[in-house]
């Protein structure tokens, strides 16, 4: 971040100049944030080169940087002047990064309309193998879902929060592991979605039928979903602390975004630290 700003200052870039980001979600988020604060805003073009960045982070104008205190606690809303997505970039992407992008596609498919999940459930193996035209269609569909939500609530007053489905858990998972390569963002999102549906089932918000449809989707497609591969009971305090630091919380309680049924999210449910601690403890025993 400092490097980008120093470079811009040293070369006396003007507001009318354009910063072009070519890279994954991290490059895009950091460059977008730098563009938003440099001389109170310079032009910004994003060329996302990972699946995750093409289906999610390059759209919607959220920019930011991570700190040791938590994920995305410093950032801005700043729309790019242009986004250029080219699937040719994805040819060099490792399988692990494809799964990370798929995580955000899966999230999008669960939050708005059940037919989005039906499409993904039917075509997941072809999408994960990057087969044409499935990969292109799924990227476009995912972008459309995000675009629709962002256009209705750009500054995340309410509706846009549904895009954070699974992310309160996910951000705590990433921060607890210090954003290390042990757990990439997209993998954390998959664990976070698993935790959110487990919690939704536990409080009887989500039906067993919908729960098992999603669970089967994870199993059939070998998507990471076991917390025990990454955490043990000694991490519990840290996990809850980071969930408490989440920016969605407005009180001492932990705010969760949960699933009522496939395609229908329940926002603004708050739970005590104890409830979340006990839930995670149980997950870590299974």
Ligand X SMILES: NC(=O)c1ccc[n+]([C@@H]2O[C@H](COP(=O)([O-])OP(=O)(O)OC[C@H]3O[C@@H](n4cnc5c(N)ncnc54)[C@H](O)[C@@H]3O)[C@@H](O)[C@H]2O)c1
Cβ distance to ligand X smaller for residue 60 or 224: 60
Smallest separation, CB 201 to ligand X (Å): 25
Look up 40 and say whether it is catalytic. Answer: yes
Q: The tokens of 200 are what?
A: 């939704």
**Could you list the residues that contact ligand X (CB under 6 A)?**
23-27, 29, 49-50, 52-53, 56-57, 60, 62, 89, 92-93, 97, 100, 104, 185-186
Strands in 43-48's sheet, in edge-to-edge order, are 18-23, 43-48, 82-83
Say how far apart CA 248 and CA 162 lie, in whole Å: 11
Q: Which of 167, 198, 217, 225 is catalytic?
A: 167
Look up 156 and say whether it is catalytic. Answer: yes
Query: 76: which residues sit within 8 A by CB, 6+ positions away?
Result: 32, 33, 36, 37, 63, 64
Say how far apart CA 71 and CA 247 lie, in whole Å: 9
Q: Any idea what the Cα angle at residue 271 is, between residues 162 and 146, rounded to 5°?
A: 5
Smallest separation, CB 235 to ligand X (Å): 20
Q: In this structure, are residues 31 and 19 in contact, taking their beta carbons and an 8 Å threshold?
A: yes
What SS3 state is found at 254? strand
* DSSP label at residue 53: I
Cβ distance to ligand X smaller for residue 24 or 70: 24
What SS3 state is found at 203? coil
Smallest separation, CB 243 to ligand X (Å): 16
Look up 274 and say whether it is catalytic. Answer: no
Look up 167 and say whether it is catalytic. Answer: yes
Say how far apart CA 157 and CA 128 lie, in whole Å: 34
Q: Which of 46, 66, 104, 161 is catalytic?
A: 104
Cβ distance to ligand X smaller for residue 161 or 185: 185
Smallest separation, CB 56 to ligand X (Å): 4
Look up 275 and say whether it is catalytic. Answer: no
Q: Which of 11, 12, 16, 40 is catalytic?
A: 40
Q: Which of 46, 66, 116, 156 is catalytic?
A: 156
Cβ distance to ligand X smaller for residue 48 or 120: 48
Look up 104 and say whether it is catalytic. Answer: yes
Smallest separation, CB 146 to ligand X (Å): 8
Look up 96 and say whether it is catalytic. Answer: no
Look up 69 and say whether it is catalytic. Answer: no
Q: What are phi and psi of 259, to 5 degrees?
A: -110, 125
Smallest separation, CB 79 to ligand X (Å): 11
Q: Which of 185, 217, 248, 255 is catalytic?
A: 185
Cβ distance to ligand X smaller for residue 85 or 255: 85
Q: Which of 71, 146, 161, 217 is catalytic?
A: 146
Q: How many CA atoms lie within 13 A of 182 on its CB side?
A: 12
Look up 129 and say whether it is catalytic. Answer: no
Say how far apart CA 173 and CA 230 lie, in whole Å: 9
Residue 248, CA distances (Å) to 14, 168, 176 in order: 35, 8, 18
Look up 160 and say whether it is catalytic. Answer: yes
Which residues are annotated as catalytic?
40, 62, 104, 146, 156, 160, 164, 167, 171, 185
């Amino acid at each position: 971040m400092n490097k980008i700003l120093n470079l811009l200052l040293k070369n006396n870039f003007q507001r009318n100049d354009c910063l072009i980001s070519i890279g994954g979600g991290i490059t895009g988020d950091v460059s977008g944030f730098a563009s938003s604060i440099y001389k109170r805003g310079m032009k910004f073009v994003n060329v996302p080169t990972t699946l995750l960045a093409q289906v999610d982070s390059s759209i919607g104008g959220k920019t930011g940087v991570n700190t040791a205190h938590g994920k995305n606690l410093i950032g801005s809303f700043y729309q790019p002047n242009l986004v250029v997505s080219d699937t040719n970039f994805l040819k060099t992407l490792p399988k692990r990064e494809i799964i990370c992008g798929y995580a955000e596609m899966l999230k999008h498919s669960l939050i708005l309309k059940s037919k989005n999940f039906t499409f993904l459930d039917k075509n997941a193996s072809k999408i994960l193998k990057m087969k044409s035209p499935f990969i292109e269609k799924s990227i476009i569909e995912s972008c459309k879902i995000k675009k629709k939500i962002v256009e209705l609530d750009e500054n995340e007053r309410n509706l846009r929060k549904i895009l954070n489905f699974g992310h309160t858990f996910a951000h705590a998972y990433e921060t607890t592991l210090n954003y290390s390569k042990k757990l990439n963002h997209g993998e954390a999102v998959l664990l976070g979605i698993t935790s959110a549906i487990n919690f939704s089932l536990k409080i009887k918000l989500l039906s067993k039928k919908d729960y098992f449809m999603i669970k089967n989707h994870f199993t059939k497609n070998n998507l990471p979903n076991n917390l025990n591969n990454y955490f043990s009971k000694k991490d519990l305090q840290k996990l809850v602390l980071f969930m408490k630091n989440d920016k969605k919380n407005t009180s001492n309680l932990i705010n969760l975004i949960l699933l009522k049924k496939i395609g229908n999210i329940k926002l603004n449910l708050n739970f005590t630290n104890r409830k979340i601690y006990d839930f995670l403890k149980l997950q870590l025993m299974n």
